[in-house]
Amino acid sequence: MTQPIHSQDVTPQKGPAESFIGDVALQNLASANNVSVIVYKVTFQKDAHTNWHTHSQGQVLYFLEGKGRVEIEGQGIIDAAVGDVVEIPPSTRHWHGAHPEEENKMVHLAITYGDITWMEPVADSNYTSAENS
């Protein structure tokens, strides 16, 4: 019988500077050998966020703590709260991270399908924009 693990027992890895702005910690909670899916618990400290990127088969974000922000290219900015779920369509440019008004940190689960293609950093004007969809 498989014993459960607690997420606090999974060693966080620092999000690489080539893909993230600010202090980001990644905890790999689940992955599969035969299926291209991975589940990360991601902690974004104040002002931290991803670069623009795509997932070949899509992504689902489930917000656990703090205020978050997501922008799906062409669809505007989404402000996310605890309990919100945002689905990113396959091969769609997007970014996500802590809301610019979040004073502490934002934590979400990122359920990622397929390959990730990392792109350029998000412009500060995009990240701090008051636009909301």
**5 occurs within a structural domain:** no
- The pLDDT of residue 133: 43
User: What's the pLDDT tens digit per position in 55-109?
Assistant: 999 999 999 999 999 999 999 899 999 999 999 999 999 999 999 999 999 999 9
* Under 8 Å between Cβ of 55 and 90: yes
Q: What is the pLDDT of residue 40?
A: 95
Whether residue 12 contacts residue 65, with contact meaning beta carbons closer than 8 Å, is answered with: no
Mean pLDDT of all residues in 38-51: 96
Q: What is the pTM of this model?
A: 0.91
Asked if residue 18 is part of any domain, the answer here is yes
Q: Is residue 52 part of a domain?
A: yes
Give the structural domain span for 46.
11-128
Average pLDDT for the chain: 92
Decide if 81 is inside a domain: yes
Q: Specify the pLDDT at position 87.
A: 97
* % of the chain residues with pLDDT over 90: 77
CATH of the domain at 49: 2.60.120.10
Residue 7: name the closest of 26, 24, 33, 31 by CA.
26
Q: How much helix, strand and coil, in percent to the nearest 5, is found in the chain? A: 5, 50, 45
Q: Which residue has the higher pLDDT, 32 or 114?
A: 114
Residue 132 pLDDT more than 70?
A: no
Closest C-alpha among 116, 119, 98 to residue 108: 98
Residue 2 resides in a domain: no
Number of folded domains that form the chain: 1
Domain contains 86: yes
Q: Is 71 domain-assigned? A: yes
Domain-embedded: residue 4? no
Phi-psi region of 127 (alpha: psi -120 to 50; beta: other; left: phi over 0): alpha
112 burial via Cβ count (<10 Å: 0-12, 13-18, 19+):
buried
